Amino acid sequence: MFAPDRRVGPFPQSLMPAKVYTDKDADLGVFANKTLAVIGFGSQGHAHALNLKESGCKVVIGLYEGSKSKPVAEQHGFEVLSTAEAVRRADVIMVALPDMKQAEVYENDILPNLTKGKCLLFSHGLAVHFNLITLHPDIDVIMVAPKGPGHIVRRLYTEGKGMPALIAVAQNKSKKAKKIALAWAKGIGSTRAGVLETTFKEECETDLFGEQVVLCGGTSELILAGFETLVEAGYQPEMAYFECLHELKLICDLIYESGISGMRFSISETAKYGDLTRGKRIITSKTKAEMKKILKEIQTGKFTKEWVSEHKGGLKNYNKMLEAGRNHQIEKTGARLRGMMPWMTKKNIKGPAAAY
């Protein structure tokens, strides 16, 4: 018997489509005679800094003494300062640091150098929303969060395009905080694509949920479970790799370009029927109940407290789990098969992502 789709409504009727801000809604003149500082030169930091610079803004980079990112930033023509000096000199300061490094750097180098009238900018809401830092009372606090990794933010900008982004205002002491956020979004190219307004709470909680339940945690475990099921049943690991990992990109690309219905339009009737009738046996009411449990852990701050504790404890469990993942059979199988695919771009994913 074909099961009805439990995902069909009802949804809150009060939810209206969000307003989309574009180039005409933002004014880079907001930054006239102002200095912008980007603290950190990693994935998001380098993209924001380069895009803003090429949009005509004055940008300096703040780094800790001995940072390996310093020569890289200088090669791109930036003046590199200590974090404290960058904060003192700048009018708008972007905290482009990993979540678990923000509190320490903020306490030691950022907060002592903040003064009335400055603006602090984040690309993710965790440190602010979960009170890992104490906000200076006399400044603007905003968010500009592109919905993609920094290297794509940069690439799209150089192509004359833009990455969609979210903006939010946590403190609006100047009464101009939203204009500053929109100007920054324009400077990095995001208003070319479209910018939506949210809150630090909504961005943070939905971002963590998406990472844990669907994009990273859920997808990784689904791939591994499918691979292991086929291998344990006696099928060759190469066959399992192709069916449970390699071809996933083809399906994700279809969904990305045309939505779930568009993907279903493009696959065979057999695949479509299997999707419609078997998918619900994998993602069950128990799965959704666990999703709600994970969401509650995010909303209450339980996940953040756990992550802070793990980080302060030296990341022992974190590193152990990463190592186990690197040693899984699927990684060895995949490395060998990808070597047979000369058309596939081999990427060095270490890059500047976590640099500061």
The residues facing 208 across adjacent strands are: none
Is 124 annotated in the active site?
yes
A 10 A CB-CB count for 275 gives 15
- DSSP-assigned letter for residue 156: H
Using CA atoms, how far apart are residues 88 and 76, in angstroms rounded to an integer? 22
Q: Please, what is the end-to-end C-alpha distance for the chain in angstroms?
A: 56
92 CB contacts (<8 Å, ≥6 apart)? 31, 34, 35, 36, 37, 118, 119, 121, 180, 184
Using CA atoms, how far apart are residues 30 and 48, in angstroms rounded to an integer? 17
A 10 A CB-CB count for 252 gives 12
Report residue 53 as tokens.
């610079």
Select which of 46, 48, 76, 124 is catalytic.
Answer: 124
- DSSP-assigned letter for residue 3: P
What is the spatial order of strands in the sheet that 58-63 belongs to? Answer: 20-21, 195-197, 165-171, 140-146, 119-122, 92-95, 35-39, 58-63, 79-82
Exposed, middle or buried: residue 132 (CB in 10 Å: 0-12, 13-18, 19+)?
middle
Catalytic residues: 124
